[in-house]
Amino acid sequence: MAEPLVRIRGLDVKFNGLPALRGIDLDIGKGEAVGLVGESGCGKSVTWLAALGLLPKKAAVSGSVTLDGAELLGAAPAVLDDVRGGRVAMIFQDPATALNPVQTVGRQVCEALTLHRGMDDAAARAETRRLFEMVGIPNPAQRIDVYPHEMSGGQNQRVMIAMALAGQPELLVADEPTTALDATIQAQILDLLRRLQAETGMALVLISHDLGVVADMCSRVCVMYAGRIVEQAPSEELFARPAHPYTQGLLGALPDMVGPRRRLSAIPGGVPEPWNLPPGCAFAPRCERADGACAVMPPFQALGRDHDAACVHLNEAVAA
């Protein structure tokens, strides 16, 4: 990969001494769409909250996160204020809680425009109307003056996306952006993100537990488990040849769209809590291939071009 837009190396996060992230290494290229998948509690959101300095003070964060070569971890608040909402924007699962309920939606987008692009009131209102049009909010001239509770969930998510675009970001991190929406609105929001990414050339990180969404939107996928990336590969390769037993389990739980009906397989148990991590491979208590060799932390092994996974029994898992 050419020099990445974002380079994360050895990112560790601990809360009260307990590990939430354990050595995340991740590159995001300019204009690239990368999916981060895994069950709740695997560290997908924490990775980006840590990278952008958005975790509470009690979080101990170490490692390195660079944006175009400039270090973000430990950067001055003024530097981070420029990056957040400017060069890197983030949208969240529930727009209703992310928006300020006592300010009109237009005012909230205008504030972002004033902050990140130095626009005066008139210019910010005009640009907000243009952004509302761009994200498909009908009647932008009228909708600019309504409050979040007067809009649907899908429209509020469009407002959040407009606000994210206000800073002309080079990277948009979308954290479960459609989970709180019904199926038809989900499809519309994903179409919108795809179109905006193509039009603006921004990179996209899509955090999701929905493998189907990620397969459709992203050229590369990283699978996270218990605070680590356990497998990463180009999307087509990952879905055609999943190598890590956890990835295989996630895909085995999806229904086939073609072929005979089959019973879906489930991964037994749940993601271990940070205070209860087993030694070595954290997936061992749920893995049918686990044995004594899994008591050491599995190193990453290359499986092909840009395809790596961390499992001591990778060859057997791949063969299976």
Q: How many residues bind ligand SF4 (CB under 6 A)?
A: 13
Binding mask 193-232 for ligand SF4 (x = CB under 6 A): ----------------------------------------
Selected from 174, 192, 205, 281, the binder of ligand SF4 by CB under 6 A is 281
Q: How far is the CB of 294 from ligand SF4 (least distance, A)?
A: 3
Q: How far is the CB of 151 from ligand SF4 (least distance, A)?
A: 44
* Strand-pair partners of 65: 8
Closest to ligand SF4 by CB, 132 vs 246, is 246
Q: How far is the CB of 244 from ligand SF4 (least distance, A)?
A: 6
Q: How far is the CB of 316 from ligand SF4 (least distance, A)?
A: 8
* Tokens describing residue 220: 């590369």
CA pair distance 320, 318, nearest whole angstrom? 5
Q: How far is the CB of 247 from ligand SF4 (least distance, A)?
A: 9
Position 100, amino acid: N
Q: Which stretch binds ligand SF4 (CB under 6 A): 98-106, 157-165, 190-198, 277-285?
A: 277-285
The reply to whether 290 sits near ligand SF4 by the rule CB under 6 A is: yes
Closest to ligand SF4 by CB, 65 vs 230, is 230
The reply to whether 294 sits near ligand SF4 by the rule CB under 6 A is: yes
What would the DSSP string read from start to end of 162-185? Answer: HHHHHT--SEEEEESTTTTS-HHH
Q: Encode 268-305: b = buried (16+ Cβ within 10 Å), e = exposed.
A: eeebbebeeeeebbbbbebbebbeeebeeebebeebee
The reply to whether 298 sits near ligand SF4 by the rule CB under 6 A is: yes
The contacts of residue 318 (CB under 8 Å, 6+ apart) are: 241, 243, 303
225-254: contacts with ligand SF4 (CB under 6 A):
244-245
Q: How far is the CB of 18 from ligand SF4 (least distance, A)?
A: 21
* Other residues' Cβ atoms within 10 Å of the Cβ of residue 145: 12
> Largest Cα–Cα distance of the chain, in whole Å?
67
Q: How far is the CB of 238 from ligand SF4 (least distance, A)?
A: 16
The reply to whether 311 sits near ligand SF4 by the rule CB under 6 A is: yes
CA pair distance 161, 131, nearest whole angstrom? 9
CA pair distance 23, 237, nearest whole angstrom? 24
How far is CA 19 from each of CA 60, 290, 295, rounded to the nearest angstrom? Answer: 9, 22, 18
The reply to whether 284 sits near ligand SF4 by the rule CB under 6 A is: yes
Q: How far is the CB of 210 from ligand SF4 (least distance, A)?
A: 22
* Alpha helices, DSSP H, located in the chain: 44-51, 77-83, 95-98, 105-117, 121-134, 140-143, 153-166, 183-200, 211-217, 235-240, 245-252, 314-319
Q: Which stretch binds ligand SF4 (CB under 6 A): 116-124, 138-146, 213-221, 278-286?
A: 278-286
The reply to whether 313 sits near ligand SF4 by the rule CB under 6 A is: yes
Closest to ligand SF4 by CB, 153 vs 280, is 280
Provide the phi-psi class of 114: left if phi over 0, else alpha when psi is between -120 and 50, else beta. alpha
* Tokens describing residue 289: 């291939």
What residues line the site for ligand SF4 (CB under 6 A)?
244-245, 281, 283-284, 287, 289-290, 294, 298, 311-313
